[in-house]
Structure 1
Amino acid sequence: MRSAPRPAPSAKRQTDAAFRTRADEVYAQLKRDVAEFHLVPGDRFTENEISERLGVSRTPVRQALFRLQQEGFVEVLFRSGWRVLPFDFDQFEQLYDLRMVLETTAVHRLCESGHRVNRDLLEQLASIWLVPVAQRSNDAVQVALWDEQFHCDLVAAAGNAEMARIHRDVTDRIRIIRRLDFTMQRRIDATYDEHAKILKAVRANRGDQAAMLLRAHIETSQAEVRKITLHQVHMARHAGRGAGGR
C-alpha cells in the first residue's frame, strides 16, 4: 500500500506560517485580556475554552500559551488546564528600577547637544499633554495608552534603537500594573501635570530637571504599585465589563 504523498515543501511552509500567524494573534489577544482585566491572577481556563472563544484550533492556542508561560504570565496545571499567575511584585520592582535607568538616561540625551533627537516625536507628545485642562481626556483606557506611548516615545526620541527595544519589553511586562494606576481620577490628573512638566523641561534642554521630574513621576507610580491588592484587580474587571468589556 502506497503512503499518501507528502505535502510539497512550499505548502508545508505556508501551513507553518499560517499557524505562526494565528498563534501570534492568539498570543496578542490573551495579553490584551490580561492587560484589560478580562483575565486576572488566579483565573483558570482550558485550551478548549480559549479555542472556542477565539474561533481557532487548539494548536495556535497551545503555542501562544507556552509563549506566555515562558514570559511568566500563566502556568499549566496538571490535568486541569491553565492558570493566570499571581503578580510577582519583586519582579515589578526590578522592572521599575530598569525603567528608571532607561528613561532618565534618555531625557539627559534629549537635552544634550550633539545627539540626534527626533523632534517630531516630542511635538506629537506636546499635542497630547500640553493642552488646557478643559481639553484633557477622562477616558482611563485612552489616558493609559497615551501614558505608555509618552514614555516609549521619550526613549525612542533619544535615538538609541536598542535602548528603545529594551524599554518596550519592560513596558510590555508592567502594562497590567500601569493600567490599574488609571482606575483613579487623581492619578489621571497627576499624570497630565507631571508629563507636562517633564516635556517643558526637555524642550528647554534642562536635562537635570527633566530627569529629576521623571524620577519622581516613576517613583510615585512605583509606590502605587505596592498598594495594589487583588480586590482592586477584580474591581477593575467589573468596571471594564460595566463599560462594555467582555
Structure 2
Amino acid sequence: MSKLPTTSRRCTNLLLQYIDDHVAVGEPLPTEVRMTELGQGSRTAIRSTLAYFIERGLIAGMKERQLLRKPREDDWFDVAELHSGTERLQQVLMERIYQRDLPPGAEFSEAELARASGVSTIAVREFLIGFSRHGLIEKKPRGGWRLCAFDPSFAHELGEVREMFELKAIERVAALPAGDPAFERLAELLARHEALGAAPAASHAEFPPLDREFHTFLIGLLDNRFANSLNDAVSLVFHYHYQWDKRDELPRNQYAVQEHVAILRALVARDVPAALAAMRTHLQSSRSTMLRALRNREKALREA
C-alpha cells in the first residue's frame, strides 16, 4: 500500500499500543468510533490503519477484525517518521536552542538546517521566511540567517497575545462534552507531569519538550491557524531567552511543572475558574522569567 500520511501513522502507533496492552489474540478490535478516540484520528485515518493491519496480517479484513497475532516491534512506525517536514525543522531548531548549538546572535545557513532535518533547502527557505515574521530570526543581506534578540516591549506584546489564545483554549475545553478524547489526553499529560514533578531535580532538564507539548495540545483545541502559528513562535521565543541565564534553570523548571499540574488538575476536574486562574499565574511567571533573562542579557552585554 502507499505510504500512510503522518496523521494515520500516529493513529496506527497509538492503536498498536492499545492492542498490545488490551486485546488478546482471537478477540475483536474496538468499534470504529472507539478507535477514533483511541487513535486520536478521523474515520479516514482509522480506515487507513485497518488497511495497514490487514497488510501486516494483524486482522483478516475490514469486517473480520479479530486479532490474528500480537503486534511485533516492526509493526510500529519509527518515531522519526511521525513528523512532517515542518515539524522536523521546528524540532531541529528547538533542540539546537536547548543544547546551545545556536546561542543568541548565532548565524546559520539553509543548507545546514536542511541536512539536519532531512528536508529540502526549498522547504527550509519557505519555513524560515514564514517564521521570520515573528521576529525570532532574520535574513542576512548576503545570505544566511541569524537568531535575533528582543527588547522588553516585544516580550510584553507577545505575552499579551499569548494570554488571549491560552485562556481561550481553557474555555474551549470547558465546552467539550464529557466523553471527548481530549480529556483522556489531558489525563495522560497530567500523569507525565506528576511523574516528572516527583522525579529528582536533575530530571527537570527534560521539561522544555513537555512544556511545548502541553501548550501545543491546548492551542490545538482552538483549531485556529493563527493561534497555531503564534504558538510556534511563543515556544521558541520563551525557551530561547531562557538560554541567557542558566543559573536557576532546574528550580525554574520544577516550578513550571507544578504550575502545569495545577492547570491540568483543574481541567481534568472541569473546574474552569481554577484552570483560568492557574493559567494566568503560569503565564505571568513565564513572562517574568523571560523579562529577567532579557535584563540579564543586557547587563552581560554592558559589562562585556
TM-score norm. by structure 2 comes to: 0.54
Cα gap change, 1:210 to 1:39, in 2 (>3 Å): same
1:95 pairs with 2:158: yes
More deviation, 25-34/219-228: 25-34
Describe how 1:11-160 pairs up with structure 2 within 5 A.
29-30=92-93, 32-34=95-97, 36-45=99-108, 65-79=128-142, 81-112=144-175, 117=180, 118-131=182-195, 133-135=197-199, 138-156=202-220, 159-160=221-222
Aligned mates of 1:227, 1:55 — CA distance in 2: 36
Partner residue in 1 for 2:227? 167
Say whether 1:191 aligns with 2:256: yes
Distance 1:194 1:24 in 2: 26
User: Relative to structure 2, which stretch is displaced further, 216-225 or 60-69?
Assistant: 60-69
Distance (whole Å) between structure 1 residues aligned to residue 250 and residue 98 of structure 2? 19
Residue of structure 1 in register with 2:22 after alignment: none
Query: Given that residues 27 and 65 in structure 1 are in contact (C-alpha distance below 8 angstroms), is that contact kept between their aligned partners in structure 2?
Result: no
Residue 166 of structure 1 deviates from its aligned partner by 3.5
Offset of 1:217 from its aligned partner?
1.1
Query: Does 168-177 or 75-84 show the bigger shift?
Result: 75-84
Instruction: Name the aligned partner's letter for residue 264 of structure 2.
Output: L
Structure 2 unmatched runs, 5+ = 1-83
Of 25-34 and 173-182, more deviation after overlay is shown by 25-34
| CA displacement at 1:79 relative to structure 2 | 3.8
Structure 1 residues 54-110: Cα deviation after superposition (integer angstroms, max 9, x where no partner): 899876665555444444333333447543222254333222222212222222343
- Asked if residue 203 in structure 1 is aligned to residue 253 in structure 2, the reply is no
Q: Which amino acid aligns with 1:226?
A: L
Q: Which amino acid aligns with 2:232?
A: D
State the SS of the aligned residue for 1:139: helix
Task: Tell me the CA shift for residue 33 of structure 1.
Answer: 3.2
Counterpart of 1:173, as a letter, is A
Contact kept? 1:26, 1:60, Cα under 8 Å: no
Higher relative contact order (CA 8 A, sep 6+): 1
How big is the shift at 1:143? 0.9
TM-score by length of 1: 0.64
Provide the rounded CA distance (Å) in 1 between the counterparts of 2:162 and 2:123.
Answer: 32
Give distance in 1, aligned partners of 2:196 and 2:101. 34
For the 8 Å contact 2:263–2:279, the answer to whether it is kept is yes
CA contact (8 A) 2:266 2:272 kept: yes
Q: Is the 8 A contact 1:92 1:174 kept in 2?
A: no
* Residue 221 (structure 1) aligned with residue 286 (structure 2): yes
